Structure formats: C-alpha cells, structure tokens
Amino acid sequence: MQVPSGYGLHHQNYIAPSGHYSQGPGKMTSLPLDTQCGDYYSALYTVPTQNVTPNTVNQQPGAQQLYSRGPPAPHIVGSTLGSFQGAASSASHLHTSASQPYSSFVNHYNSPAMYSASSSVASQGFPSTCGHYAMSTVSNAAYPSVSYPSLPAGDTYGQMFTSQNAPTVRPVKDNSFSGQNTAISHPSPLPPLPSQQHHQQQSLSGYSTLTWSSPGLPSTQDNLIRNHTGSLAVANNNPTITVADSLSCPVMQNVQPPKSSPVVSTVLSGSSGSSSTRTPPTANHPVEPVTSVTQPSELLQQKGVDSSSTTSSASPMPNSYDALEGGSYPDMLSSSASSPAPDPAPEPDPASAPAPASAPAPVVPQPSKMAKPFGYGYPTLQPGYQNATAPLISGVQPSNPVYSGFQQYPQQYPGVNQLSSSIGGLSLQSSPQPESLRPVNLTQERNILPMTPVWAPVPNLNADLKKLNCSPDSFRCTLTNIPQTQALLNKAKLPLGLLLHPFRDLTQLPVITSNTIVRCRSCRTYINPFVSFIDQRRWKCNLCYRVNDVPEEFMYNPLTRSYGEPHKRPEVQNSTVEFIASSDYMLRPPQPAVYLFVLDVSHNAVEAGYLTILCQSLLENLDKLPGDSRTRIGFMTFDSTIHFYNLQEGLSQPQMLIVSDIDDVFLPTPDSLLVNLYESKELIKDLLNALPNMFTNTRETHSALGPALQAAFKLMSPTGGRVSVFQTQLPSLGAGLLQSREDPNQRSSTKVVQHLGPATDFYKKLALDCSGQQTAVDLFLLSSQYSDLASLACMSKYSAGCIYYYPSFHYTHNPSQAEKLQKDLKRYLTRKIGFEAVMRIRCTKGLSMHTFHGNFFVRSTDLLSLANINPDAGFAVQLSIEESLTDTSLVCFQTALLYTSSKGERRIRVHTLCLPVVSSLADVYAGVDVQAAICLLANMAVDRSVSSSLSDARDALVNAVVDSLSAYGSTVSNLQHSALMAPSSLKLFPLYVLALLKQKAFRTGTSTRLDDRVYAMCQIKSQPLVHLMKMIHPNLYRIDRLTDEGAVHVNDRIVPQPPLQKLSAEKLTREGAFLMDCGSVFYIWVGKGCDNNFIEDVLGYTNFASIPQKMTHLPELDTLSSERARSFITWLRDSRPLSPILHIVKDESPAKAEFFQHLIEDRTEAAFSYYEFLLHVQQQICK
C-alpha cells in the first residue's frame, strides 16, 4: 500500500529493504554519545537544505524546537531539492515522514509529532511501518515544509581531518577550527599558554565549547600540529568513520525509477590508466542517481550570448584602477591628495623633482609622499651599510632550536638588550612565531635573495588537506591565509587574488568518465576533495554549504572496485581532475580542429623572410597538428588585396583567388577554402612549398590587415577555431588602418608614456565577434619598426588568443630571432589546444571576484569566454571579501574549464584549492605568497597604466610596498621606526617591486620602444606565474665552476644546481662566467679574466679575445664542464614551453648593456638601487 497516492506512477520503486534504514539507530546507540544524544540525532534526521547557520549549532542540546524552526517558503524547497520536492511544494501533496527509526527512541523525545518536519524528503513508502505515517500527517498541517538542518556547515572537515574532534561525535565546527588556527600560528613549546589562548579565543567568539573543556588536550594537539606528525589524522579516524557509517538513514529525494540500462562508469587514470565497466547493484537501492546536470549554467550563459555578444563593444574588463588604489589601499588616495607638498605641482612632475631630491641625507623625511616622483635622482647611499647602527629586532629567542640558524646576528649587532626587550614585547602579542613571520630588517639583511629558487608557500592546513590540495603550479593565491574580513584585509594592505594556470601540461591527470558529474545543486560546484560527507548518502558543498545527495553511481568506486565508499572516488581524492562531459555540456556537436593562417605578403614581409620559416615549420609539423580526422586547415595571404587559396581535394594544384574589394570583403568560394587536412594534404604541401617564393618580386607595400581579418572571421564563423595572423608592419589600408603614434624621442622619457591603449576599437570589436563564434586570433608580430602593438594586440586579448612579438625580425640579419620564431612555432603548432572553452571560477560564499586578468572575454560576472585555450595561458583574478568569513575556517576556490579537445571530446578540467581562514593580522602576514602577490600587482599595474598613466601605476607599485610594510610595522608595535622591518614571508616584496619598476613594461628613463613596452605588458597579463616571475626577476647563476654538489638527476643526466646569485654587478667577477635566465632569453656573460679552461672547455675557443661577438650556441664538447653547463641549460630550457634563445655576451661588448639592465639591484642613471629603494620606502613609511 503506497502512501503518497499522488504518485501512483512511481510506487513500485519504493519497496526498499527496510532493514537498511532501520540499522541507523541501531548503530547509533553504540556510539560514544553520553551527553549529546539529543543534538546528535537532530543532526541526523533533518533535511538537507541550504543556508545552514552554524550559530544555531550550539543551541542544540535539548532544543527540540529546532526541528520546527520557521517553515521556509515552499519555493525554496522546490528549487533546492529535487523533482520530488518540486512536487512536494504543490498543494495537493501529502507529506509523510520516514520517521520510523524514531519509534525505538520514543522515550528520548516527548513529542514525536515534531519530527514530521523532515517529512517532505523521506516520503518513500515503508510498507512494513506504515503506521508511522499517521503521526506525521498530524503535524503536516502545522509544518508543511522542510526544517532547517541543524548540522553545522562544513563540519566534516573537523570530523575527517582534525584531531580536535576525536572526543566529540559531532564537532562544533567553529570551535575546532579557531582552535586549530591558533595552534598553528602560535606554536608554543609551553603547553599551558596555547590552551589559554584557545579559551580566550573561544570565549571571545562567543561559543560555548564542548571540545576544549580540558586544558591538556589542546596543548598536545598543538604539539602534534607543530611537529607535523602524520598521526594527526589517525587519532580521529575511527570515531569519524563510525559516524559516517551510522548515518545511514538516507534521505531520499529522487523519485526516478531505477535505470533499466546498466550504468557504465569508467575512470581512466592518466593516459593508459585502468578502465573498468560495471553495473551498480541498483536492485537494492530504490534511488536512481540524481541527474545532477540538467542545464549547466555555462551552457545557459553561452546560449544567452551567442545572439548578443557580437555587437557588444562595452569594456569587458572592470577597471581595476579603483581596485588598485581605492579598493585595497584606501588611504593611499587620500594621503596623496591631501599631502602638504611644498611643490605646488599636484602631479608628480619630474621636472620639479630635483628640489626635494637634493636633500642632504637620505634619512631626512620627505614632506610629501607624492611630491617626489619615484625612481629619479635619489641621493647616494653610504656604500657600507653593514655598519648602520639600527639594532636588529627580531622575535628570535636565541635558545629556540628552531631558529638556531639566526643566532649569528646578535653577535653582529650590538643591541642585544634591546633585542631581549623587544622579544618580551613580542611574546605578549604572540608567542614564538613561525619562520614566515620572523621579522627581517630589510636594510640590514644584505643577502635577501635565498640561494635556492623561491617556492610557493604551503597553506597552513593539516596534513590530509595539504596532501590533497591543488598544485601551486596551477593555482595560487596571494595570501595562503585568507583574512576573515575585508577590514582585516584592508589592514594588511596586501592584494588578494588568484593566479591560475588552468590548462597547464600535466603528466598525470585523472580523467573521469561517468554518467553523472556530481555537482552542487545550488552553486554548481563540482565535487572535490574538500567537500564533507555527512553520511554515505549526502555531501555538503564546501562553497555554498548546501547539502546534496550522493548519486547512486557515485557510490561505486571504479578504481578500487568497491562499493559504498564515495569519499574514495577519484574526484574526491584529487584536486585536479578532468571529466568527460555529457551532451548536456554541448550546444552543438564538438567542433573539429580548424586552423587558418593569415599571412602578410607585402614587400616588408617578403623582405623579412618569415614565410620560409613558417612554411618549413608547418611542413614539418603538419602531421603533429592536434586534431582528429576532421581537422581543417586554410590559408589566406594579403597585401593591398586579399588572396584565398582553394585547396579542394581533386584539384591538381592550389588555386589562388584574389579579392581586391577590401571595402566589402566576401568569400570567393565558401566551402573549399578551409579543407580537410588529410584529404587535401598534397595540395597543402604544394602550397606551403610554393608560398615563400610566390611573392618575391612584389612591389606592394600596403597592408590591408583589417579586411583580411574580416574575411578570416567570415571563413571561421561557422565552426570556430584558431586564426594565426602574421603581420610585419602597420596596417595601412581598409578598415582598421593605423597611424604611427610613437615619438622616438620620447622613448626614454620619464614623463607620461602615451599610447599604451588602442587607437581604434576595430580590433577589439572584431575580437569580440570572433569570440562569439568560438574563434581565437593569435598574433605574430614580426616587425622592424613601430607597428602599434597596443592596437593590434586587442585582436588577441579579447578573443583569448596569444601574442608573439619578434622585434627587428629578419631571417638572415637577425638569426637569433629567426631561430626563436622557428622554435616558438614548433611549440605553437604542436601544443595542446582546447576549443570553444569557457572557464568559471567559484569561491566560497563570502568571497567575490571582481577583476580578471588574462586574454579572454568576460561573458558574465564570473564566466570567462575562451574561444581557444592553450597550455601557456595564465590568468589572474582579484578577490574581495564581501561577507565576514567568521563562520568558516576554510575557504575553497574552484576553477572549471570546459573545453572541446582537439579530438572532439568535451572535457571539464577542475582545479580546487583550499586555504585556511585566519583572524589575526600576524597570520595574514605569515601566509603571504610574495611571488603571487607580485604577479597580481603587475597585472593590476598594467591595467592602471592603460587606464590612467604609467607614473600612476609606478606610484601604486611603490605604495603597495610602503603600505604593506608600514601596516606590518604598526602591528609589531614596539619596533623602532628607524628600521625597515618586514616579515620573512614578505622580505622579497620590495626587491620584486623594484624589479617590476625596472621591467620593460614599467620602466622610465631607459630607452624603451613603445611596442616593446606594450608587449611586456601583454605578457604580464597572459603569462602564467612561473614564467612571469622569471621575466620580472631573472635568475643569475655562476656557471664557470659548476660542480656536482647538490646536483639532481633528470632522465639519466646529472644536472648541477648552482646557487642563485643576487642581481647585482657586485656578484659578477671578471674571473667568472654567469648565466642569466630571463625566461624567454638566456644570457651568458663571460668576464674578461675568465679562466681560459672554461672558455676552451665550454665555449670552444682558445681565449677570451677569440670569442665572437654574436654567439648563440654552446658547442657540444666532450669535456666535463661543457657537459655540466649544457645539461644545466637544457634542464632550464625544458622547464618552459617556449625555448629561450641564448646570447653569449662578452664583457665589454656592446650587447652587455642588455645583460646589465637586468641587474636590478644596481643603481642605474634613471632608477634606484635596491638599497636606495629601501631607504625610499622607509622614508615614506616614517611620514
């Protein structure tokens, strides 16, 4: 007899093994619940809804009324729960309850009718216990809807991973985590102290604690955490698992009949991983896997835009100017505006600068922050700044073994008594600090740069989460400890944002094929390692805290071939996974790979000779182009007219079709210009062989790039794909023609740098049209004179393309550029590619994203439209904290990249990053990822330069350092203001900012061509962090004395690991040879007095004098030192996608200026040295 008679159609599905359900209470009684019975059950028998307010948690003991907390509006039920709930909200529905487990516990509860609040979920019929429905209907009149769950948000973090929770069955989440955080940030060797802190903190935050009642326990946990022992998780595992098991009274939502077809689920691990097929035992379980995706939101967005985006010319990028200045550093504007500058000029005018700059001593405080432009004419410093008298202030206790490495400093500096007093002051505030918080006196620390490469800081999570967290190569946050409130973030004066490299080439990637991709029903988050499983049947979203059902299919783990362990699924074990998407994620059949090459063949282009290299490269890599048998390819050339090539299969030779009407471009034949690569391969090869010589005698100097792009758009719009544009000069004809805007005399000006923005919106509009048709435009600019990259770059920026720039390219006169083009093309043509992609970044409720950086089009607030995605593209996002994060201790970020692979598979790559939330400023500083912060600042500064001015951007960069260091100084209250202090985590911050100021993109005073500058800016916006950091701060190694000490073995090769040198001429000795790794270029500087053995063994010349001026290769010599040098360089090269070119620079050769401009710690005629910069910063702070 079925209860919900309205559901006659489905009744046969509800015959459930009732034993399965009733075993829940049976097991529960065996749990060690002594005092908390009541609230434990309340946690179990409630309905998953959203908006769990953890504050209610502590009111629970005995609070029965929680079950009947205000009935929510029916539409909430309908929208958040499944179809069954949708039906439940209709008036005719009768509510029933699966409350039969309570029957055995009636004595615990005075009014059983109260439980009916959970009725609408578990209305499946239990034929044997139908008597219980009576009582539930009684109360249905009063409580027509679902009750709020009383389970705390995200508490499985506690259950699963933290040891604090062992004594309680259901942890009070906030308590456990605030405890954990304090434990980590103040690891103390003295047990009583931290426990006091815990109590303080808990009482402050108003939680009545259950967990922390005994003072001994927290301290032991402290020790555990501080020592990072692996036993953390072990301590609590058993109780939690029992909890999970006992929570087996499932709340069922879905009334779908069981599938008649076998659910096939396959997981491939890596490329050749094991796959398995199976049929889940559906018979025992009446619930069919919830079809989690009906209309993915990405898809909806896509639909909405297909029709409208083509005409959109609004700026897709929010202006980050405000964010840089107004958002994160609110008092910067005011200070600059109201500064009582003696100089009347409100703008930082360099002409008026020398007056304050001639101040006699660097320690004299400047009256105004803004009056003096940064980076100009600063007084010289005392060379030996070791003997400065400011005492070293540090929180280091000499007796503390952890910091024994720093004991040398007290000997060096006399102020030991001051030191001890400051320690006393510090320990009041926070007991001994972790390494990242150790204060560093920047002006005293001479070797600020570590000897080894700087690694990303590891988020301060427990060992389990650490292991699961996303690789910093793909996903990094500027603050690995997220501040709890925006106010705290503002106090810290640090940028908050994410750095992404989502489509990175990975060696190992779990690929998951399953019918249902498990996602949160309300925020669409993909299931990830940081969700919590409330029981075997439900999981709680870690971004919006909604409780979701675990679909039936998810219960089976194809990797281990075991059933009932949803937390062991690969999705939950890996923070980077790739799903094979179902057809719900497709608007159309997956597109084939389509490549179109648009080539400049004007006189200028033929003269530069790039066609030979391109055609050669294409011929070599034609078979390696990513794609399947449907791959299509096409070619267009243009000068003042546009030439198409008919390559239709069956022709005897390629047919050239010339369209001279560039005002109204049309396609001469629509269907034979883009041809199947395999069917027309011979014709394509013929064309590629003929192309380099076809235009040798051309006299045409004009370039109709705009019309050619319009034609390319027409050609590509039915399918989408990739357009590669090769351009060698300013476009001079038709739509989109450009004029030269650069004044060569202004190249080294320190005044306003103009024309960083586009001259016309033609290219941007075209890019947006292309983006709407899933076409990306990649630009290769090979020009010897100014080509207005600022305007041309728009075609790639907004269509998610990429930009390559080869200044003064010539195939014979500039062989190193030619070689670079060749190598770049090889990578470009053969690297992975994703088509018709969209990327969405989600973050925990309370955080919001406001500005995106990279090449894409922002289609809606958080959806990035990427016509193409390539493995070398990086992105950055700025974050703000909208709501206080006090009720959570972890925040998560998830990037989902939906793309069509070149083989026509629709895939979703998901990265999830989990970070702790902290409430104290010291913890925020402890978790700064200085490299990520610098990269984000660089992105913000580029936006700022374009929207405002370069000098504004430079000031903002300096102020970023000033503000963060002064904010830090004010937290460490008793420090002398004469010392410039920074936490150890931030000690490289001033150095990197100085490096940015001397970077091509932002430098002033040094001659910089406008295109070079714009290209550097483009790279900052689109490069992933690892490559960007090398651009900003190159690595310098001494390579004439490589040894095998500390060498690593890579593929049977021994790669020596020389220590990093700081970027100063001070480190260069004439007797040595140095390698500088600038990301896209390597320099080997050979000193005049370099050992002849090195020159002979490595460079292959007899002495210094015989080394040629232009040398770009190391010869393969059969000597040990040559082998070492080459293996080191090869190792460096292998780590990046675009093979850098090598320049061997002799001391005293004219090329050495190129090398020396990268020595950013040194003073140049136009810019500070590092020490001067520090003094400047210190002065600004003191004001």
Partner 1 sequence: MSMILSASVIRVRDGLPLSASTDYEQSTGMQECRKYFKMLSRKLAQLPDRCTLKTGHYNINFISSLGVSYMMLCTENYPNVLAFSFLDELQKEFITTYNMMKTNTAVRPYCFIEFDNFIQRTKQRYNNPRSLSTKINLSDMQTEIKLRPPYQISMCELGSANGVTSAFSVDCKGAGKISSAHQRLEPATLSGIVGFILSLLCGALNLIRGFHAIESLL
Site for partner 1 in 591-620 (CB under 8 A): 591-592
Q: Cβ of 576: how many Cβ atoms within 10 Å? A: 24
Q: In the complex, what is the shortest distance from the CB of residue 333 to partner 1, in angstroms, rounded to a whole number?
A: 49
DSSP symbols for 540-566: E-TTT--EEEPPGGGGEETTTTEES-G
User: Are 6 and 90 contacting, i.e. CB atoms less than 8 angstroms apart?
Assistant: no
Which of 193, 388, 586, 656 contacts partner 1 by CB under 8 A? 586
Q: Which is nearer to partner 1, 285 or 1027 (CB)?
A: 285
DSSP symbols for 820-878: HHHHHHHHHHHS--EEEEEEEEEE-TTEEEEEEESSSEEEETTEEEEEEE-TT--EEEE
Query: Which segments within 555-641 are labelled E, that is strand?
Result: 556-557, 562-563, 576-580, 594-600, 632-638
The answer to whether 6 contacts partner 1 (rule: CB under 8 A) is yes
* Contact region with partner 1 (CB under 8 A), list: 336-344, 450-458, 603-611, 622-630: 622-630
Residue with tokens 């400093």: 409
Q: Which is nearer to partner 1, 185 or 256 (CB)?
A: 256
Q: In the complex, what is the shortest distance from the CB of residue 112 to partner 1, in angstroms, rounded to a whole number?
A: 8
Q: In the complex, what is the shortest distance from the CB of residue 773 to partner 1, in angstroms, rounded to a whole number?
A: 9
DSSP symbols for 1017-1073: HHHHHHS-HHHHHHHHS-EEEE-TT--STT-EEETTEEE--PPEE-SSGGG--TT-E
Q: In the complex, what is the shortest distance from the CB of residue 642 to partner 1, in angstroms, rounded to a whole number?
A: 20
Q: Which is nearer to partner 1, 198 or 569 (CB)?
A: 569
Site string for partner 1, 718-737 (x = CB under 8 A): xx------------------
The answer to whether 652 contacts partner 1 (rule: CB under 8 A) is no
Query: Which segments within 392-474 are labelled E, that is strand?
Result: 439-441
Residues in the chain: 1183
Please classify residue 1041 by burial: count the beta carbons closer than 10 Å to its beta carbon, then call 0-12 exposed, 13-18 middle and 19+ buried: middle
- Footprint of partner 1 on residues 698-717 (CB under 8 A)? 717
Pairing of the two strands 655-659 and 642-646:
antiparallel
Q: Which is nearer to partner 1, 296 or 1087 (CB)?
A: 296
Contacts of 252 (CB under 8 A, 6+ apart): 98, 121, 122, 124, 286, 287, 537, 549
Q: Which is nearer to partner 1, 87 or 440 (CB)?
A: 87
Which of 588, 977, 1110, 1113 contacts partner 1 by CB under 8 A? 588
Q: In the complex, what is the shortest distance from the CB of residue 428 to partner 1, in angstroms, rounded to a whole number?
A: 58
- Footprint of partner 1 on residues 512-541 (CB under 8 A)? 513, 515
The answer to whether 133 contacts partner 1 (rule: CB under 8 A) is yes
Q: Which is nearer to partner 1, 7 or 539 (CB)?
A: 7
The answer to whether 906 contacts partner 1 (rule: CB under 8 A) is yes
Which of 312, 582, 621, 884 contacts partner 1 by CB under 8 A? 582
Beta-ladder partners of 1055:
1048
Q: DSSP label at 479?
A: B
The answer to whether 299 contacts partner 1 (rule: CB under 8 A) is no
Q: Which is nearer to partner 1, 596 or 1020 (CB)?
A: 596
Please classify residue 33 by burial: count the beta carbons closer than 10 Å to its beta carbon, then call 0-12 exposed, 13-18 middle and 19+ buried: middle
Q: Which is nearer to partner 1, 513 or 920 (CB)?
A: 513
Q: Which is nearer to partner 1, 94 or 622 (CB)?
A: 94
Query: Which segments within 883-1005 are labelled E, that is strand?
Result: 890-901, 906-918, 981-983
The answer to whether 130 contacts partner 1 (rule: CB under 8 A) is yes
* Contact region with partner 1 (CB under 8 A), list: 81-89, 533-541, 727-735, 844-852: 81-89
Q: Which is nearer to partner 1, 379 or 589 (CB)?
A: 589
Which of 19, 30, 34, 134 contacts partner 1 by CB under 8 A? 134
Q: In the complex, what is the shortest distance from the CB of residue 900 to partner 1, in angstroms, rounded to a whole number?
A: 10
Half-sphere exposure of 285 (CA within 13 A, CB side): 26
The answer to whether 580 contacts partner 1 (rule: CB under 8 A) is yes
Pairing of the two strands 510-513 and 532-535:
unpaired
Give the CA diameter of the chain.
Answer: 102
The answer to whether 573 contacts partner 1 (rule: CB under 8 A) is no
* Contact region with partner 1 (CB under 8 A), list: 50-58, 256-264, 565-573, 605-613: 256-264
* Amino acid at the residue 352: S
Q: In the complex, what is the shortest distance from the CB of residue 571 to partner 1, in angstroms, rounded to a whole number?
A: 16
Q: Which is nearer to partner 1, 717 or 754 (CB)?
A: 717
- Footprint of partner 1 on residues 84-113 (CB under 8 A)? 84, 86-87, 90, 92, 94, 103, 106-107, 112
* Contact region with partner 1 (CB under 8 A), list: 286-294, 333-341, 362-370, 808-816: 286-294
- Helices 1025-1032/1010-1022 angle, 10° precision: 140
The tokens of 455 are what?
Answer: 């690694």
Contacts of 1045 (CB under 8 A, 6+ apart): 1056
The answer to whether 279 contacts partner 1 (rule: CB under 8 A) is no
* Contact region with partner 1 (CB under 8 A), list: 278-286, 584-592, 782-790, 989-997: 584-592
Contacts of 910 (CB under 8 A, 6+ apart): 526, 528, 576, 577, 578, 579, 894, 895, 896, 897
Query: Which segments within 411-550 are labelled E, that is strand?
Result: 439-441, 475-477, 482-483, 497-500, 510-513, 532-535, 538-540, 547-549
Q: In the complex, what is the shortest distance from the CB of residue 835 to partner 1, in angstroms, rounded to a whole number?
A: 12
The answer to whether 273 contacts partner 1 (rule: CB under 8 A) is no
* Contact region with partner 1 (CB under 8 A), list: 133-141, 311-319, 606-614, 740-748: 133-141
Task: Say whether 725 sits in a helix, a strand or coil.
Answer: strand
Please count the residues of this chain forming the interface with partner 1, following the rule CB under 8 A: 71
Least Cα distance to 369 among 1042, 1177, 1030 occurs for 1177
- Footprint of partner 1 on residues 886-905 (CB under 8 A)? 904-905
* Contact region with partner 1 (CB under 8 A), list: 210-218, 250-258, 1004-1012, 1130-1138: 250-258
Q: Residue 829 and residue 626: Cα distance in Å, rounded?
A: 8
The answer to whether 463 contacts partner 1 (rule: CB under 8 A) is no
The answer to whether 7 contacts partner 1 (rule: CB under 8 A) is yes
The answer to whether 683 contacts partner 1 (rule: CB under 8 A) is no
The tokens of 56 are what?
Answer: 């209610």
Half-sphere exposure of 216 (CA within 13 A, CB side): 1
Q: Which is nearer to partner 1, 671 or 1071 (CB)?
A: 671
The answer to whether 625 contacts partner 1 (rule: CB under 8 A) is no
Q: Residue 773 and residue 836: Cα distance in Å, rounded?
A: 9
* Contact region with partner 1 (CB under 8 A), list: 5-13, 386-394, 473-481, 1000-1008: 5-13
Q: In the complex, what is the shortest distance from the CB of residue 141 to partner 1, in angstroms, rounded to a whole number?
A: 13
Run of H or E residues at 1016 = helix 1010-1022
Site string for partner 1, 476-515 (x = CB under 8 A): -------------------------------------x-x
Which ranges of 229-344 does DSSP label H, i.e. alpha helix? 231-246, 297-306, 321-322, 330-338
The answer to whether 18 contacts partner 1 (rule: CB under 8 A) is no
Which of 294, 387, 389, 417 contacts partner 1 by CB under 8 A? 294
The answer to whether 141 contacts partner 1 (rule: CB under 8 A) is no
Q: Residue 2 and residue 14: Cα distance in Å, rounded?
A: 9
The answer to whether 291 contacts partner 1 (rule: CB under 8 A) is yes
User: Are 693 and 611 contacting, i.e. CB atoms less than 8 angstroms apart?
Assistant: no
Q: In the complex, what is the shortest distance from the CB of residue 8 to partner 1, in angstroms, rounded to a whole number?
A: 6
The answer to whether 260 contacts partner 1 (rule: CB under 8 A) is yes
